[in-house]
Structure 1
């Protein structure tokens, strides 16, 4: 069994088909199919089965894909053991973040990593639905993701999850709104308001659902917009209220952020990594800087890393 064949099997499991796996691996679908065929001949049992237009792993394929993670981790640990003897590890590390997280963290991270020398950061913004963050780790070394308080574990692929910070979500109201003078608001105070919120499936939407449940009535959603700067402009103009993150939304002269009481209103910002890439020394250096930066931004300690 070859390492690249096991990698192909993992990619097919994560992305549900040969074509999608090929795009992540920068190969042709034919090349991925050939690698799977060779791996199956070596294993001696069927590893995949056709489901509609996609490809799913058999129980044997699932077991081998799990074992492939251990193989990839072992290979990267071996490389890291050698890299530890370098005076200054060098390499390129890719980092992505959802848009408001990118605004909050990427400028400082670039400065911190630049001061280390020898490490080039390739940054991108990836604002995807909550269920799609984990799959990004197949092509990006460090994925900065977010999920609401109380959300279940990340799923889809094996992950190392590193907590960065918890960001409260406050109620954004225009300055002339009756609630703008309050120190905090409760869900019941928001009954009957017009809401501007993110698209369905995105993390902040789940927090609004919790607020509505405590208020005892569904929210009246008038607009769905993911860009928090646009949301703030609409709130300031009197088109509705919203939930905005306290650290990353940025101040707006026409908006007051009021803390929300009686409900866990916040999102957890975390770094997601494939277990093998988390072993790379240059990735670990970048991750250390990211954790330190998040602690600085939030003004508090960062919890210990955990699994998916």
Structure 2
């Protein structure tokens, strides 16, 4: 009997289809499908979209665990006052609270952003040695710019651009050690210093909390800014951090994102076009509201 592989995602109803795609890509690239347990930290999801996501169980026999955050007092308390935006809804902060929201018996989890595509057996990543650290991640390819911002000196006093800095889209977490760190208290300290508005959302917070306490993992397990040239490098996980996403209307035609045609078929054609219509409706509703 093999141990389960615990994978965490966080999303709201506007990202149900990409979240499904991440999970389906994991399932398609491993023989250990029935060992997979997906822990879903989510804001309210419609019944139709939940049925779509539950297709992972019907097709592969993997397990889903749902964690609704809309009524979570802890989530509301921690997120209150943290900056959000159109590209960064409240749900992005859910990963800060993984240790509090997930069952106490879990000792290791893999967190994945919903704008990813997995191309290699996930157990290869899940079993990696963390070198005694609470967290393993990939160094961000835009490290000095993200840390320093404008002219790479805007955030001097918060970060040193010579330090290591990880991308939080993929994190392999030792929850036993994570729980020994009072993340909520550390965020409160950051807020008390008046830094919150200067930070790059939760990624900066995580880098401050885990400074010098994370293990650098191979880049191919979080191939940031995934574009066409990356197809030649055999990436294990593609991370679509660019504004152009593989689910865009002309993504397959323009091939601006790596494996964009592959991505569409992992999402499935039916869901891909339904998600595209969903996004168009949201775009037009936003335009109409602005026009009033």
Same fold (TM over 0.5): no
Bigger Rg, structure 1 or 2: 1
TM-score, normalized by length of structure 1?
0.25
* Higher RCO (C-alpha 8 Å, min separation 6): 1
TM-score, normalized by length of structure 2?
0.26
More strand as a share of residues: 1
